[in-house]
Amino acid sequence: MKIVVIGAGQVGSTVVEALHDEHELTVIDLDGSRLGPLSYRHDVSTIEGNGATRSVLLEAGIKEADLLIACSSRDEPNLIAAMLAKKLNPDVRAVVRATEVEYLEAWHERQLDVDLVVSSEIETAYAVSRTLGVPAARQTDVFAEGQVQIVEFDVEQTAGDHAVIGRPLREARIPADSKVASIIRGDSAVVPRGDQSIQPGDRVIVIGSPRAAQEWSSIIAGDRPRLDDVVVYGAGRIGVAVAEHLLRQGIRVRMIESDRDRARLVAEKLPDARVFNATGIDPDFLERERIGQSRAAIFAMRDDAKNHYAATLARIHGVGFTIAIVHEPISIEVFEQAGVDVAVNPRQLTAEELVRFAHDPRTQQVAMLEGDRYEVLDVTVRPESRLVNTRFRDLPMTGSLIGAIVREGKAIFPHGEDVLLPGDRVIVFTEARRAAEVEQAL
């Protein structure tokens, strides 16, 4: 495969390292001094220039390329490069690194014509909540004014739940008002019939009420003790993303930020977090706020050394579980030496996610899940539809699933005896190639 990589920083280098053996790589960076070492170490061609311009992209051979990985540290050039590439070569696939969550959301809503957007903040937040044992939904889509949610979960390898996981679905105690829409295992999707079961390591897609989605979250989490109080040091972008993620899981979050204005800004943005304007290394403060009693602390300050010191201090004060966000690859070892429980490298995570897309057809599908393979339809049933007044148990089995009905503004999660009425709004989860068929039938 011919791959063009924009950006030769930490993420770019990691990507190159992982892909240079099997693929033909061209690396573009504005800073020539970063390209030199890279080209000595690996057999890649390099171009010094702005990857977000047509001339440079053409020079890099975008017309013959199969994949563009735009992973410079700045969002907008990455996006422009991807869009230009798509125009110059409609067959190229483009993956983009973006830090701004807005772009990620725009991509989810298909307003950005790229194949994958990876946000280091979100990846980090997800990794942190996974290590804390509160697996956040990978993605949540909301329908019918929030009454219906479609949620994507990764089932933990360690999840050993009794009533749902590992049992045939017809026997599993699935939370009320929810349905399993799809199970992704390895590189294929399993149609969730009654005899199928959810296994550890699967990725499941669930349609249900917000409450059911919460129940699913705790089922997936397995047996670990539930966290209720977490301290996040540093209210930078990563710290905020982590805090947001945890808050959404209903965990109490306290944030410590030394910059006054930043603290104020974050306090305004996150009404549910308690934000302190403090350095986090003042023993009086730690004592007064009983920081030592919180279950876990995450160190997301900008400086690895500061994180190191604060984490050690927090451990002295009695914090049980510490997670450090690292910025330099070498710091991982330092933190491990210092007794920090987990060290997370956002750039590493981002690079991994980008590489996975290039490498592994399975993740490719997962990434495409919302994009190409499956669609969620929100349609109103016409009176002349042949399915009107049919009981749900008698509806033909086609692999599509009616997840919910919105009748008179209220969401109903249908059972076998329920009947489809004209004028119902239905939320249908279906394979993309069947979407037209489903729309016609209704």
**Which parts of this chain interact with another protein (CB under 8 A)?**
257, 260, 263-264, 266-268, 271, 274-278, 285, 288-289
Least distance in angstroms from the C-beta of 252 to another protein: 14
Contact status, residue 92 vs residue 66, Cβ threshold 8 Å: yes
Measure the CA–CA gap between 426 and 405, rounded to whole angstroms.
Answer: 4
Whichever of 260 and 410 has its CB closer to another protein, that residue is 260
Length of the chain: 442
Measure the CA–CA gap between 239 and 290, rounded to whole angstroms.
Answer: 20
Contact status, residue 77 vs residue 51, Cβ threshold 8 Å: yes
Contact status, residue 87 vs residue 62, Cβ threshold 8 Å: no
Whichever of 2 and 262 has its CB closer to another protein, that residue is 262
Least distance in angstroms from the C-beta of 266 to another protein: 8
Whichever of 63 and 288 has its CB closer to another protein, that residue is 288
DSSP letter, residue 373: I
Least distance in angstroms from the C-beta of 290 to another protein: 11
Whichever of 11 and 235 has its CB closer to another protein, that residue is 235
Contact status, residue 117 vs residue 107, Cβ threshold 8 Å: yes
Whichever of 283 and 339 has its CB closer to another protein, that residue is 283
Element (DSSP H or E) covering residue 5: strand 2-6
Whichever of 200 and 292 has its CB closer to another protein, that residue is 292
Least distance in angstroms from the C-beta of 268 to another protein: 4
Measure the CA–CA gap between 216 and 214, rounded to whole angstroms.
Answer: 5
Element (DSSP H or E) covering residue 338: helix 331-338
Least distance in angstroms from the C-beta of 356 to another protein: 38
Whichever of 223 and 272 has its CB closer to another protein, that residue is 272
Whichever of 263 and 441 has its CB closer to another protein, that residue is 263
Pairing of strands 67-70, 93-97: parallel
Residue among 377, 373, 428, 422 at smallest CA distance from 400: 428
Whichever of 117 and 314 has its CB closer to another protein, that residue is 314
Least distance in angstroms from the C-beta of 288 to another protein: 8
Least distance in angstroms from the C-beta of 140 to another protein: 20
DSSP letter, residue 420: -
CA 5 distance to own-chain centroid: 22
Whichever of 104 and 297 has its CB closer to another protein, that residue is 297
Least distance in angstroms from the C-beta of 404 to another protein: 20
Least distance in angstroms from the C-beta of 289 to another protein: 7
Please state, in angstroms and as integers, the Cα–Cα distance from residue 267 to each residue in 73, 244, 256, 261, following that order.
26, 12, 11, 10
Whichever of 282 and 437 has its CB closer to another protein, that residue is 282
Give the 3-state secondary structure percentages of the chain, helix then strand then coil, rounded to 5: 40, 25, 35
Least distance in angstroms from the C-beta of 114 to another protein: 32
Least distance in angstroms from the C-beta of 231 to another protein: 13
Please state, in angstroms and as integers, the Cα–Cα distance from residue 206 to each residue in 233, 310, 427, following that order.
34, 40, 12
Least distance in angstroms from the C-beta of 232 to another protein: 14
Whichever of 191 and 265 has its CB closer to another protein, that residue is 265
Residue among 380, 293, 366, 304 at smallest CA distance from 336: 304
Residue among 216, 228, 209 at smallest CA distance from 159: 216
Please state, in angstroms and as integers, the Cα–Cα distance from residue 88 to each residue in 46, 80, 95, 117, 145, following that order.
20, 12, 15, 20, 39
Alpha-helix runs per DSSP H in 209-251: 210-221, 237-248
Measure the CA–CA gap between 304 and 324, rounded to whole angstroms.
Answer: 8
